[in-house]
Every structure is written in C-alpha cells, then in structure tokens.
Chain A
Amino acid sequence: MPIFGGYAGGIEETTIVDIATHLNSIVMSSASWHLDGPVHIRWGSTNTRETLTIAGWACATISEFTDILSGNQYYPCAGPCTEMCLLEASAQSITDTASGREILSGVAAAKGVVQDKTTGMEARMMGEVARATAGMDIAEVNGILDKLVGLYEKNYASAPAGKTFQECYDVKTVTPTEEYVQVYDGARKQLEDLGLVF
C-alpha cells in the first residue's frame, strides 16, 4: 500500500512508486492481480483527495498501457451506520470504477482497526455505486468526486466512530437495523443529488 506523505513524498511521487509496485508484482511473483491501496499517512484512510488521486492515476495508467489486473482496498475514517463512512466508500468506488479497476475490495470501515466495525451494508454501497458509475464520462466523474470529497474532507479528525456489527444488525437473522437502512438511504440521496444515477 503506497503511503501518501511517506518516504516517496507527494501525490505525483507516490503515484510513480505505485506504478513501479504494480509492475513489480508481475515480475517478482508472476501475480494474477495486484492489490493496491494508496493510504494517507496522517489519516490512515484510502478515501482522501490525495489518495484517491494517486489511485485514479495509477490505475488508469496501468489500464491504458498494460493488461495488468488491479484491485483496491477500502479504509474510510468513519465507522458503520454513518453517512460519512458510506460517502467515503462511494468516492473510492467511483474513482476505482471510472479508472478501470478490476476488483474493489472492502470496506474496512473505521480504518479497519476497530473490532467488529464492518458490515455488509458498506460493501452494498461500494457495489451499487460501482454499477452506477460504470460507463460514465470521466469529466463528469471528476466533477462529482470534487463535490463528494468536499462533503467529508473537513471531518477526518472528528470522523464519527459509528456502530459495531452487533449494533447495526440483528445478529440472528443477519439483517440490518431500520436505523442503518435510513442512514443508507440518506447517503444514497446525497449521491443522487450530486448526479449519480442508481
């Protein structure tokens, strides 16, 4: 996972490293696919403006000049059952889908470090947004992303912790709570307002 703000430095420099690591995966390991995941050194998130840019440019470039198959990992700042978490995952799903990514792998909500803070609902959003994005004009995609990231990028330091799986689902029936369904609908409505057609 290339780190923005790490040893390589800024956006362009980290993307150069990301391209090199894609190429290395097939030289060193004869890999079937490369699992990417540019992450922000300060926020531990893959959904920031900088890391999305790195992922978008790296994947589009690899898609354009090679046949390498590429995936991306999802680490939003916010936890499950929050609109911010779903919007963060959506921004990455839009970026990945539009840039030619083959596999979307996630979502490790709450940066993937808090026990039991992931559920199937975040993956549903990742999938629904990918379906809505596939085939969209790239200039339109960039416009939506600019507004979408603007909705949450001031809140990394105070990202909502969200709820555990046990609080988000009826564990016996494996069904999301009414509260989470409403939160999901709220996030979906915001995405529709930005121009995404489900």
Chain B
Amino acid sequence: MTFRKSFDCYDFYDRAKIGEKCTQDDWDLMKIPMKAMELKQKYGLDFKGEFVPTDRDMMEKLFNAGFEMLLDLGIYCTDTHRIVKYSEAEIWDAINNVQKEFTLGTGRDAVRVSKREVGDKKKPIIQGGPTGSPISEDVFMPVHMSYALEKEVDTIVDGVMTSVRGKPPIPGSPYEVLAAKTETRLIKQAAAMAGRPGMGI
C-alpha cells in the first residue's frame, strides 16, 4: 500500500503522541534484545571474524535484518513513552531519495561529501577535532587550531568548553548560551588563524 505523503519529522512528532504505549524497560530489556536475537537466527548471521565483509550474500541478509527491525519495532520516543511506527513504503521512499552529496564549508575551504563504496580509492572526508571532549577555556582556540593547521583535516568537529568567563556552562543557564556562541566564534577564529576561514564546522 502506498503512502499518502513522504514521511517527515512533523509526522514523527504527531505519531509520537498517539503511538503504542511502552515502558522504557520493556523497550530496552525485552523488545530490542528479543528482536535482535530473533533476526540473527532468522537470517543466520555470522560475520566469521571479518572486520570488513567480503561475503555479499551475508551483507544482504544483514541489510534485510536491519530493515525488518526498524519496520517491525519502530522507534521508541523517550519523551512520550510511545512507539513510532513506519510503513515499509515510507522507509523505502526515504532510502530511494537520500541526499547523495553535500558541501561542508565555504569558498576555497569547502569540501564536497559524496558517496564512497567498499574499497573505494577516494579518501574519505577527515573531520578533525576533540569530538565532544572537554577542553579548557584558555586553550580552546589553540586546541582547535592544531586541527585546522593539519592539511589532512578537511573540517572541524568541536570540543566542549568546560567554562566560559570562568563560569561552568550549566545547562539552562545564560552561560550555556554564551559558551555555545563562544565556542563557535573561537573555532571560526582558529580556522581563520590557520589560513582556512571557510572550513566547515
């Protein structure tokens, strides 16, 4: 059966208010482990110790198992304690219409992110940075500059300032907003100081 319209985040919000009720424990301790175990057995999944797969048939079984898990279980909304379900057609509609490439950054520092294949000769995009690690306020700029100075690095993934104007950025406080804005300014400054003002952040 076809879908009425392509699924979007607003549909998710609407379904999260009316979906089947479920406790988080039931979701985490029963539904997920039972379904994962059932699908592993159903599809006979065995990776045989390979890090990167060479068995295309086994990969196809894995894809079907992952698809079936999303279709059968749906997604648990921890705010409403309800399950959001998708139809098979809605999932395929999303898979068939993904964005195949996009740009990070601006000007001469912009990089194009595009699809790679298994064993691809093209180097992936290198997003260098502390990746959410805690970074002191006084070295926040030079830490990020150390990534921007590396030519192997294409874009920046930032760390988290542990203080701003000497105060902890407590969630919900004005300092949280100030810290977020200061982080962005300092990382942009770090990229510019490294001669790459258009780097994607």
Contacts and interface: CB of A to CB of B under 8 A. Distances in A.
Interface residues of A, number: 93
B95 A107 contact: no
Given A33-B113, A61-B53, A169-B142, A115 B47 contact: no
Interface in B29-44: 29, 32-33, 36-37, 39-40
Contacts of B67: 19-20, 23
Nearest to A30: B8
A95 B126 CA distance: 14
B133 interface: yes
Contact of B60 (A65, A73, A74): A65
A130 B126 contact: yes
Contact of B157 (A8, A10, A105, A171): A105
Contact of B126 (A13, A20, A119, A127): A127
B42 to A, nearest CB: 10
B118 A100 contact: yes
B146 A169 contact: yes
Interface of A: 7-20, 22-24, 26-30, 32-33, 49, 52-53, 56-58, 60-69, 71, 73-75, 95-110, 112-121, 123-124, 126-128, 130-131, 134-139, 141-142, 145-146, 165-166, 169, 171, 174, 176
A102 B40 contact: no
B99 A13 contact: no
A123 B162 CA distance: 22
A111 B90 CA distance: 37
Interface of B: 7-9, 12, 28-29, 32-33, 36-37, 39-40, 45-47, 49-54, 56, 59-60, 62-63, 65-67, 69-70, 73, 75, 84, 86, 90-91, 94-95, 98-102, 113-136, 139, 142-143, 145-150, 152-153, 157, 159, 162
A57 B133 contact: no
A106 B135 contact: no
Contacts of A69: 98-102, 113-115
A12 B43 CA distance: 11
Nearest to A13: B36
Contacts of A169: 142, 146
Given A67-B98, A112-B133, A103 B75 contact: no
A18 B126 CA distance: 22
A53 B75 CA distance: 24
A15 to B, nearest CB: 6
A13 B37 contact: yes
Contacts of A57: 47, 50, 52-53, 59, 62
A99 B52 CA distance: 6
B139 A166 contact: yes
A119 B143 CA distance: 6
Contacts of B153: 120, 123-124, 127
B142 A118 contact: no
Contacts of A66: 95, 98
Given A60-B59, A105-B127, A106-B127, 7 more contacts: A13-B33, A23-B94, A24-B75, A57-B47, A102-B114, A103-B113, A145-B52
A120 B128 contact: yes
Given A17-B32, A116-B135, A116-B139, A142 B125 contact: no
30 contacts: A7-B33, A11-B47, A20-B66, A23-B66, A23-B70, A27-B70, A61-B53, A61-B63, A69-B115, A71-B127, A95-B51, A97-B120, A98-B119, A99-B53, A102-B125, A104-B125, A106-B127, A112-B130, A115-B133, A116-B136, A118-B143, A118-B159, A119-B143, A120-B150, A123-B152, A138-B53, A138-B118, A145-B52, A169-B142, A174-B149
A16 B119 contact: no
